[in-house]
């Protein structure tokens, strides 16, 4: 069994409650941090740990904290990004639902380190039942002296507030989240200034996701150096993976990033192999926004080396032969899955979730959706494939926030690795139409500009 730092106690009966969490060693990290460490000491431990943001970008958390401006007399804020809307990703939900006090403790430590007296959890609107779980945990922490005024006699005051979103994927982007938290439409901001300088209400702000902030607890308990010994290279500590798709054992798994992709898919400890005895066709290892990889490049790099479940190994070879760890949404596709149909499904999602602020994303996502639907229904042309390639190139890197990239990368990777499947939909239109009975609901006439 691998190392468990976040989910070790998740299955303890009653662990949602303060009493059981405390009995199992909970809030020791908060006591240690607030009573015996300075704010700079805590930031330094997080730096030494090598903890990278677990929301997708993988930016070093300690370095992000060190960027926070500290102007005299200006409040600072910590915001927890619990707007987990990436298709294929559900590990933050699992953490909040099963062991909420771990997140609350991580928030207390991080708030103390950053000097945040008002900390916010911005949670996805669809997670309505988890709001009650978090509110109860916050109330229990306050009742036992870990929130409120003069926490543990330190003179530090802190309150945590839960704010529900309205179900917008775009609010997973930190500046769009901040806009929504302020009561405005969730449109991403142009950067600079970055949130560390001007975030919530133009005050210095740090935004980290649920898993990142929960990971602060074991870092403080064991020390940054010990945490860094787990994993490999710059992929330190453990990572939560949401495994789904055509596997025998879908679920949330905690890995230490030293195991191979093949072991993760086929071992009984994790995914248990491909369901129904099918063969592996492809995988999207970091949520819907990262490039899909065919089986041969998923299990081995272009150099023939074993590919491991960590940031560096998955990205080896760039987007041509590699992908990204992303949010850890591990979506497995078996031999019967249609890449064109899957790509269309993702494109439809990103078209729907685009805020429309940037014209390349607003127009391009809709255009890609229409082209993919036409191809999927057996009504496309070979030139449509080339047009798709051209459109995604014009979206990538040309938008305020990464949603444009998230829409472009799946299309680019699908064409790069499975162009023959796209061409099959053109050369075998009748067979393509027979396969796609499930698209009847989306069979409205569409117009795509001629090439």
pLDDT tens column, 360-408 = 999 999 999 999 999 999 999 999 999 999 999 999 999 999 999 999 9
Domain layout of the chain by residue ranges: 18-229, 238-334, 339-442
Residue 352 in this model has a pLDDT that exceeds 60: yes
Which of 113-127, 212-226, 268-282, 315-329 has the lowest average pLDDT? 315-329
| Residue 290 CB neighbour total at 10 angstroms | 28
Report the residue count for the chain. Answer: 451
Give residue 447's pLDDT: 35
pLDDT at position 291 over 80: yes
Across residues 291-300, what is the average pLDDT? 94
Rounded Cα gap, residues 321 and 349, in angstroms = 25
User: 106 pairs with which residues across the strands?
Assistant: none
For 291, the token pair is 């490039």
Q: Indicate the pairing of strand 251-255 with strand 239-245.
A: antiparallel
Domain 18-229: give its CATH superfamily.
NADH-ubiquinone oxidoreductase 51kDa subunit (3.40.50.11540)
Q: Residues 191-246: pLDDT tens digits?
A: 999 999 999 999 999 999 999 999 999 999 999 999 999 999 999 999 999 999 99
Helices 339-353, 403-427: inter-axial angle, 10-degree rounding: 140
Query: At how many degrees (to 10) do helices 28-36 and 210-222 cross?
Result: 70
**Alpha carbons within 13 A on the beta-carbon side of 24:** 19
| H-type alpha helices, 115-236 | 128-143, 174-181, 210-222, 224-228
pLDDT (0 to 100) of residue 435: 72
Cα-trace Rg, the chain:
23
Residues 394-449 pLDDT 10s? 999 999 999 999 999 999 999 999 999 999 999 998 888 777 644 433 333 333 33
- Same fold? 18-229, 339-442: no
- The pLDDT score that the predictor gives to residue 319 is 87
**Cα 169 to the center of its chain, rounded Å:** 11
339-442 CATH fold = de novo design (two linked rop proteins) (1.20.1440)
CATH code at 238-334: 3.10.20.600
């Amino acid at each position: 069994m691998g190392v468990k730092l976040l989910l070790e106690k998740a299955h303890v009966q009653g662990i949602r409650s303060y009493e059981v969490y405390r009995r199992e060693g909970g809030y020791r990290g908060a006591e240690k941090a607030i009573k015996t460490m300075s704010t700079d000491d805590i930031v330094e431990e997080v730096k030494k740990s090598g903890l990278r943001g677990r929301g997708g970008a993988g930016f070093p958390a300690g370095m992000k904290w060190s960027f926070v401006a500290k102007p005299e007399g200006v409040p600072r804020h910590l915001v927890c990004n619990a707007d987990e809307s990436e298709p294929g990703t559900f590990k933050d939900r699992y953490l909040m639902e099963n062991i909420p006090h771990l997140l609350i403790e991580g928030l207390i430590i991080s708030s103390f380190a950053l000097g945040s007296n008002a900390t916010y959890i911005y949670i996805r609107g669809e997670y309505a039942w988890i709001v009650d779980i978090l509110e109860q945990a916050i109330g229990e922490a306050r009742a036992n002296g870990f929130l409120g005024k003069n926490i543990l006699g330190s003179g530090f005051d802190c309150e945590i507030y839960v704010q529900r979103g309205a179900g917008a994927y775009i609010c997973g982007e930190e500046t769009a989240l901040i806009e929504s938290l302020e009561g405005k439409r969730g449109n991403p901001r142009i950067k600079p200034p970055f949130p560390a300088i001007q975030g919530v209400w133009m005050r210095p702000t740090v935004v980290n996701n649920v898993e990142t902030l929960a990971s602060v607890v074991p870092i403080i308990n064991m020390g940054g150096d010990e945490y860094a010994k787990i994993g490999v290279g710059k992929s330190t500590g453990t990572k939560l993976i949401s495994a789904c798709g055509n596997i025998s054992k879908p679920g949330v798994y905690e890995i230490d990033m030293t195991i191979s992709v093949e072991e993760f898919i086929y071992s009984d400890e994790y995914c248990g192999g491909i369901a129904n005895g099918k063969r592996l066709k492809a995988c999207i290892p970091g949520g819907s926004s990262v490039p899909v990889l065919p089986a041969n490049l998923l299990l081995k790099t272009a150099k023939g080396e074993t590919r491991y479940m960590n940031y560096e190994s998955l990205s080896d070879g760039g987007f041509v032969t590699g992908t990204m760890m992303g949010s850890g949404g591990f979506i497995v596709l078996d031999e019967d899955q249609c890449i064109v149909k899957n790509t269309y499904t993702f494109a439809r999602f990103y078209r729907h979730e685009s805020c429309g602020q940037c014209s390349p994303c607003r127009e391009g996502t809709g255009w890609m959706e229409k082209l993919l639907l036409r191809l999927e229904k057996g009504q496309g042309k070979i030139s449509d494939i080339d047009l798709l390639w051209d459109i995604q190139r014009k979206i990538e890197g040309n938008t305020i926030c990464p949603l444009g990239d998230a829409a472009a990368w799946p299309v680019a990777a699908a064409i790069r690795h499975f162009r023959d499947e796209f061409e099959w939909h053109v050369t075998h239109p009748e067979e393509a139409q027979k396969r796609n009975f499930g698209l009847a609901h989306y069979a409205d006439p569409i117009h795509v500009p001629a090439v």
